[in-house]
Structure 1
Amino acid sequence: MSEKVLVGGVGMIPFSKPGASPSYTEMGAEAVRLALRDAGIGYESIQEAYVGYVFGDSTCGQTALYEVGLTGIPVVNVNNNCSTGSTALWLARKAVETGAADCVLALGFEQMQAGALKAHWDDRPRPRERFLPILMNLTADAENVPQALRGFGGAGREHMQKYGTSMRAFAEIRAKASRHAANNPLALFRNVVSADDVMNDKVVWPGVMTRLMACPPTCGAAAALIVSERFARKHNLRTDVQILAQSMTSDPVESFDPPSLISYVGSHMTRAAAKEVYEKAGVGPEDIKVCELHDCFAHNELLTYEGLGFCPTGEAEKFIMDGSNTYGGKVVANPSGGLLSKGHPLGATGLAQCYELTHQLRGTADKRQVEGANLALQHNLGLGGACVVTLYGKH
């Protein structure tokens, strides 16, 4: 019989620009201390740990945790591209749900370098190398644009061509993110920008993307303590946030055949993971009032509205222009400011989303609080690929 899985404590440090942050060891250790303090337990209570990061040597997870304690627990290091943090959460949830452990730590951190993402190994096959011709052929006119921008920007352009979506729809998403982040003291960028500001920013791909439509490289850390209900009650932990359902998917055949950049950047992974979560929990997208989703680019946020079922395929621009993606609308998307404003330290992102949604369900999100939220959805996507969708509920 599966155990009820609760979020016993969360911790997160303010995100910062590359070169302005402490080391990953300091960031990771501080996030753990904050989560322990939030839960009201000591490090000795943790039975297992799953630690996510993308850029780092082997056993960086142990290196960070050893700053908090030396208890001999198993530590598993996780690397699943941009969904690394939520993959650590997925593993922690499984350990508790199956009864293998009662108190498990999920930690994510990243000490990033400035500039666009780049490969760090040039003497071996690149991830997705077999499928890169799809990207290159469909964006042959953008050969000087960095690869991640070509993928997500190209997917946005495909949506524009298929459904008549305007570039301004992406600008409105970025402006919305800035309004939400203004109320988040942990966000990297808290200055409010208008859609006009976004449209008039530096062009990185004419007719497709300006600089403000892309998330910045960021350093940071976040952590969550995942516990069984019996452990929470025994140790007088909070029991108000439960993981109701969770799914992790990788690429199906349809991601690459027929060639489509919307498919290439993960739409099929998103749809499959969301469908499984909704079915497990017996709810639908219309029941979700707050969501943290993977807006690495404004273009991907628009695509994800459709992938998660918040609006029909092809109608995301109307969804945006109607204000359905913010306070007073159908669902508040990224009340934290999302990756676009909060920042995207790859290994930490999934657990930062968990931090935000835990506070939303607790009713402790201050000015960001979404009224009446009793279900919260998390979507974290990594190309390569992995997509993790998690549904939290009030317990």
Structure 2
Amino acid sequence: MKTYIVGVGMTKFEKPETRDWSYGDMAKEAGGAALADAGVPYERVQQVAAGYCFQPSTAGQRAVYGLGLTGVPVYNVSNNCATGSTALMMARQFVAGGASDCVLALGFEKMTRGALGGGANGGDFASSPVARHYGVMAARHGFAATPPTAQIFGNAAREHMERYGTTEAQLAAVAAKNHRHSARNPRAQFQDVYTVEEILAAKTVHAPLTRLQCSPTSDGAAAALVVSERFVDAHGLGERAVEIVAQAMTTDTEESFASGSCIDVVGRPMSREAALQVYETSGLGIDDVDVVELHDCFSINELLTYEALGMCEEGASGKLVESGATTYGGRWVVNPSGGLISKGHPLGATGLAQAAELVWQLRGEADDRQVAGASVGLAHNIGLGGAAVVTLLRRQA
């Protein structure tokens, strides 16, 4: 059964502890915006998938109670940084399987300042869900005193440079592009423009990654209303509807760990497999895509994802970004929102914020960020430990 997004909403992403709001406040703002965008009252929502990582159990219920007390099922979703797209996938499956005609996918996060702990339990990496991933890194690179997520991605960058000749300037070009894009996005956490030289000169977090190449912690929420084709027809929503053409989630396989490479443990193989499943299901390929929102938690991951999505050959991603192929005037526009690096990264909301940006783009409602003639969009969202979700969206002609 076909599924559609008919309404999206998101808050402005904020630096933690700078705005006086609860996760319930932000969820109400984003969820209410998605419902208003669709022109659908909350009373028509039949199920809710609510995603978050750092709030307590049943926070999803507390979050949607601000929208209404209708007694519908609320499913609490946590899948590391892929939480938002996991909630979207759950909503799509409810509708595609015929269980519901109208499902709200909601993601939110209220975070603390400072670097993420990398999934360790009080610093005990032996009991961490990502212990195997960090074990691969430690065996090859050791374990430093820098933030662990920056370490594992920074070490992936080092390997990419050694293996393919990728340069620090090419890594910085990713961040420069995304910071430049975010200057057009009023909902982005940061809206400052930086040159490649300024990015390289910023404080090093874990070499070769500098602070301006790393996504920040953020507060914020995003939402999408997913409905069936019959719901679209019954409520006259055809002009608002964006089809979820295909979607796939993959997790780590033997390939993720067999090479002993950080490039693999941070997700390139599972991202590649998710993309291949989406292409096969939809009959579309990366050449059909106009605009991409992908998981640039660190600049290196955008390069790895170019390769996983088939935008270039393995090892050629540095040259691809350097060529201008992934910005306005190029073959694709990647992260017109500013991406995680500059828009912000409230874990539970990130995947749904990507979906919101693509819906605005495909409807022609992205204002100064608009990608001319965009009709097909692709979202890529990963969580270390691991999950990769790829979603292909298309505006109906």
Partner in structure 2 of residue 212 of structure 1: 212
Partner in structure 2 of residue 125 of structure 1: 127
- 1:20 Cα deviation after fit: 1.4
Is 2:101 the counterpart of 1:102?
yes
Whether the 8 Å contact between 1:6 and 1:239 is mirrored in structure 2 is: no
Partner in structure 2 of residue 338 of structure 1: 339
Give me the whole-angstrom Cα distance separating, in 2, the residues matched to 1:214 and 1:153. 10
Is 2:49 the counterpart of 1:47?
no
What 5-or-longer segments of structure 2 have no aligned partner?
none
Whether the 8 Å contact between 1:160 and 1:166 is mirrored in structure 2 is: yes
Give me the whole-angstrom Cα distance separating, in 1, the residues matched to 2:285 and 2:185. 28
Is 2:87 the counterpart of 1:88?
yes
Whether the 8 Å contact between 2:23 and 2:63 is mirrored in structure 1 is: yes
Give me the whole-angstrom Cα distance separating, in 2, the residues matched to 1:177 and 1:130. 31
Partner in structure 1 of residue 139 of structure 2: 137
Partner in structure 2 of residue 323 of structure 1: 324
- 1:80 Cα deviation after fit: 0.1
Partner in structure 2 of residue 286 of structure 1: 287
Partner in structure 2 of residue 249 of structure 1: 250
Whether the 8 Å contact between 1:377 and 1:389 is mirrored in structure 2 is: yes
Change in CA separation of 1:337 and 1:131 when aligned onto 2, cut-off 3 Å: closer
Partner in structure 1 of residue 227 of structure 2: 227
Whether the 8 Å contact between 2:120 and 2:128 is mirrored in structure 1 is: no
Deviations 1:261-291 (A, max 9, x none): 1001000110000000011111111111100
- 1:35 Cα deviation after fit: 0.6
Whether the 8 Å contact between 2:88 and 2:352 is mirrored in structure 1 is: yes
Deviations 1:185-239 (A, max 9, x none): 1001001111111011112234x11111101100000000000111122122244
Give me the whole-angstrom Cα distance separating, in 1, the residues matched to 2:48 and 2:120. 26
Give me the whole-angstrom Cα distance separating, in 1, the residues matched to 2:218 and 2:249. 25
Partner in structure 1 of residue 174 of structure 2: 173
Give me the whole-angstrom Cα distance separating, in 2, the residues matched to 1:12 and 1:203. 31
Calculate percent identity across the aligned residue pairs.
52
Change in CA separation of 1:130 and 1:200 when aligned onto 2, cut-off 3 Å: closer
**Which residue identity lines up with residue 181 of structure 1 in the other structure?**
S
Kindly report the root-mean-square deviation, in angstroms, between the aligned alpha carbons of the 2 structures: 1.2
TM-score, normalising length: structure 2: 0.96
Deviations 1:147-172 (A, max 9, x none): 10111111111100000100111111
- 1:120 Cα deviation after fit: 6.9
Partner in structure 2 of residue 9 of structure 1: 7
Change in CA separation of 1:323 and 1:130 when aligned onto 2, cut-off 3 Å: closer
- 1:133 Cα deviation after fit: 1.7
After the TM superposition, which residues 156-167 of structure 1 pair with which residues of structure 2 at under 5 Å, given as runs?
A: 156-167=157-168
Give me the whole-angstrom Cα distance separating, in 1, the residues matched to 2:133 and 2:214. 23
After the TM superposition, which residues 259-298 of structure 1 pair with which residues of structure 2 at under 5 Å, given as runs?
A: 259-298=260-299
* Partner SS, residue 112 of structure 2: coil
Give me the whole-angstrom Cα distance separating, in 2, the residues matched to 1:252 and 1:78. 22
* Partner SS, residue 260 of structure 2: coil
- 1:44 Cα deviation after fit: 0.2
TM-score, normalising length: structure 1: 0.97
Give me the whole-angstrom Cα distance separating, in 2, the residues matched to 1:48 and 1:96. 10
Partner in structure 1 of residue 71 of structure 2: 72
- 1:136 Cα deviation after fit: 1.2
* Partner SS, residue 256 of structure 1: helix
Give me the whole-angstrom Cα distance separating, in 1, the residues matched to 2:31 and 2:241. 20
Partner in structure 2 of residue 35 of structure 1: 34
Whether the 8 Å contact between 2:35 and 2:225 is mirrored in structure 1 is: yes
Give me the whole-angstrom Cα distance separating, in 1, the residues matched to 2:345 and 2:27. 15
- 1:131 Cα deviation after fit: 4.0
Is 2:383 the counterpart of 1:382?
yes
* Partner SS, residue 348 of structure 1: helix
Give me the whole-angstrom Cα distance separating, in 2, the residues matched to 1:90 and 1:106. 9
